[in-house]
Structure 1
């Protein structure tokens, strides 16, 4: 049986049962809980990305060559992405076999422990080589946590969504990465302002990590009080029969959709991490742009993209996922070159405007993606399928983006190479989405 026929048999022909009245009343609360969780998780991740760009290189990887120190810090950033597939296997199995809520709570706890641990680490000057070893270990734990976060948050919202509004509800957690970055900037900038750049590089960089303790406590309280997905809120005999090893079944039954789903999201991942993470280091160090200017430009773009997420998802519910995603991918292919080229001007307003257009095009790709990827797979493999496609795309397109960009700019000293790199990946995404079917009318059957 082909993948399309199998998917239609598993998903398209089984009417989704209407959610019970109590579930309908709690949909908004569940969507809010998904947003809170992804915001907290991505705050932790964004704090690390910003710290890697600013101070972690010399603190944990001292070197006479600043480029090598920064490269080493970004290697630890990439290490967390390498651990994400482990999270997909672990939390995908938990989420598909035992329930979405349980996987989400566990992933949040793991992220909290790892992030606070980074804030408490001694530096290389105190304990020598043990410092970067411990840093990498905690980064791996963060990566495992992120491997389970996105799929669970999206599914918890999407599987409770009213008919015809799945893209809207699924897109709510998609604001988490943007809001997490904005929250991290709202903490990092005042911390630098209060203590000064020198003190921030010396010790005050720990403050944003330690403050996540409060956020984790709030997220844990919210997530333990939300209802389980309707797929699991029923007798065991009526639940989807998930295989013992969901990832193996996914690779065996849906290899084409898995690969195309990864390709569909890889371009947007590169754009996001080049703008939100890499540019914060590249602008000041390579082009002499003030750090505050780069943070302000990226924050303006992130705020605009977050505000556009729900309207874009509404459009995807009306006209379909593919037209909206294709428009974003095509626009990104054309825009990333002038967007990164704007860095050569050093003009904060011009850079902020270019970044804003770039992230608005990104939201055209990523807003509907939260519904599009889960809709490619049946309920028994949905957590693993959605997580695997998105997380692998994030790893390939986003996790290595700062590392690849650092290497590219060590050979070709022009921001245009960033646009060429991101544009190539967005072109791949365009081709992959063209090869995938429209999923708007598919039911979330068992």
Structure 2
């Protein structure tokens, strides 16, 4: 006798417990905010302060590239963290990996605040910085994959996109917190004091992340569907990565390419900040001014992410991801042109449009879309590995941008804008080649991935209600 998705859900809730999407979403939101506070803090410091104190050089181009390269180093360790933490999350549970990842991230970021500068210990300073950045990258690799899997598996089918978007909103809130802490320090402290000790304060505040992470994450309950799978006696893959590459190789490749859409943020909030503030480019904006630009971009994202998440439940996720990626990629060059015009009001308008609206169409929906592409047994691994391999490659875009459009070169907005748009077009094509998930229950998607059976919506006779 066949079991319908409704019967399956009822059996789960009777035997294990009810799904709790609100608690899962809140846990994902808070945890992502705290963990991405740490990660975003380093990203800001790498563009604003680290070139001067960790990589002194008479050539400003070398200092900028070196600092942005340490930003990229954090992404090098992310695939390793994705493999290890993804397997941990698939085999041991989503809750365990979330607690461990946050504690490790808090430790690494706190330690950055204690580092000596190049002037104090020479080459040892950037070496220690790179080691801690590698630990950061390893830790953050398990955050979004575990959190979004937890939320998707707790959520009702009709609201997966809405609830899962809160973990993405949390990442933006973390960036806001990082900017909000750095902003008054950069604005009110003399440059000498900010470079000596002021920049350390936000990193040392990560001690609170360690405590908060433990208190929040240890109370999270595993999704009933995951517990049911564990109790069913089904063997879990010993090596989820091997299972992923054996059974879903092209899904993995497409998700990697789709992740390149993050080039929009790399061009605007990473390279764009260097372009606007570093002396070598001669634009002349101050660090505090562009902390405000970053803050406004993230505030706009906090507002739009749940709206686009909810919209993806109604109209589907592929269309939003394609429109957001192509639109944001096309207008990224316009944002850099606004910087070139030295018009701060125009910069604010452009960053809200590019980063707060178009990019969030993609960002608010990709986590749910990626999770829906993989079966439960390898869901955390599939999401984490594909996302972090993609981000590892994309993280070198800012350094490449600086190399192809170094200080003193002409037509910087045009060169970087066209490059960004081309990458986004490739990502959009990968999205269009991926199967849509609109109107599909999670149970139907699971059955389709496990048994290659037709989706329930495909089995309905013509005219049947969905």
The two structures have a TM-score, normalised by structure 2, of 0.88
What corresponds to 2:159 in structure 1?
Answer: 165
What corresponds to 2:286 in structure 1?
Answer: 290
1:365 corresponds to which of 341, 362, 367 = 362
What corresponds to 2:332 in structure 1?
Answer: 336
Residue 50 to residue 331, structure 1, CA distance change in 2 (3 Å)? same
For structure 1, the residue ranges without an aligned partner over 5 or more in a row are 1-11
- Distance in structure 2 (CA, Å) of the matches to 1:173 and 1:254: 25
1:86 corresponds to which of 77, 80, 87 = 80
Q: Give the alignment of 1:284-433 within 5 angstroms.
A: 284-285=277-278, 286=281, 287-359=283-355, 360-397=357-394, 399-410=395-406, 412-413=409-410, 414-433=412-431
1:37 aligns with 2:31: yes
Contact 1:297–1:349 (CA<8 Å) still a contact in 2?
Answer: no
Contact 1:298–1:352 (CA<8 Å) still a contact in 2?
Answer: no
- Distance in structure 2 (CA, Å) of the matches to 1:256 and 1:57: 40
1:243 corresponds to which of 237, 240, 260 = 237
For structure 2, the residue ranges without an aligned partner over 5 or more in a row are 447-466
CA offset at residue 193 of structure 1? 3.3
Superposition CA RMSD, Å: 2.1
What corresponds to 2:223 in structure 1?
Answer: 229
Contact 2:107–2:210 (CA<8 Å) still a contact in 1?
Answer: no
Asked which structure has the greater CA Rg, the reply is 2
- Distance in structure 2 (CA, Å) of the matches to 1:415 and 1:290: 19
- Once the two structures are superposed, residues 88-129 of structure 1 have per-residue CA deviations (whole angstroms, 9 ceiling, x without a partner) of 111111011110010111111110111011111111222222
- Distance in structure 1 (CA, Å) of the matches to 2:288 and 2:347: 13
- Distance in structure 2 (CA, Å) of the matches to 1:33 and 1:275: 29
2:43 corresponds to which of 25, 41, 49 = 49
- Distance in structure 1 (CA, Å) of the matches to 2:19 and 2:223: 13
CA offset at residue 243 of structure 1? 1.0
What corresponds to 1:3 in structure 2?
Answer: none
- Distance in structure 1 (CA, Å) of the matches to 2:56 and 2:277: 19
Question: Bigger shift: 365-374 or 235-244?
Answer: 235-244
- Distance in structure 2 (CA, Å) of the matches to 1:273 and 1:176: 19
Question: Bigger shift: 159-168 or 225-234?
Answer: 225-234
Aligned residues: 433
CA offset at residue 240 of structure 1? 5.5
Contact 2:89–2:95 (CA<8 Å) still a contact in 1?
Answer: yes
Residue 281 to residue 235, structure 1, CA distance change in 2 (3 Å)? closer
What corresponds to 2:9 in structure 1?
Answer: 17
What corresponds to 1:105 in structure 2?
Answer: 99
Contact 2:104–2:135 (CA<8 Å) still a contact in 1?
Answer: yes
User: 3-state DSSP class of the match of 1:165?
Assistant: helix
Question: Bigger shift: 186-195 or 205-214?
Answer: 186-195
CA offset at residue 14 of structure 1? 10
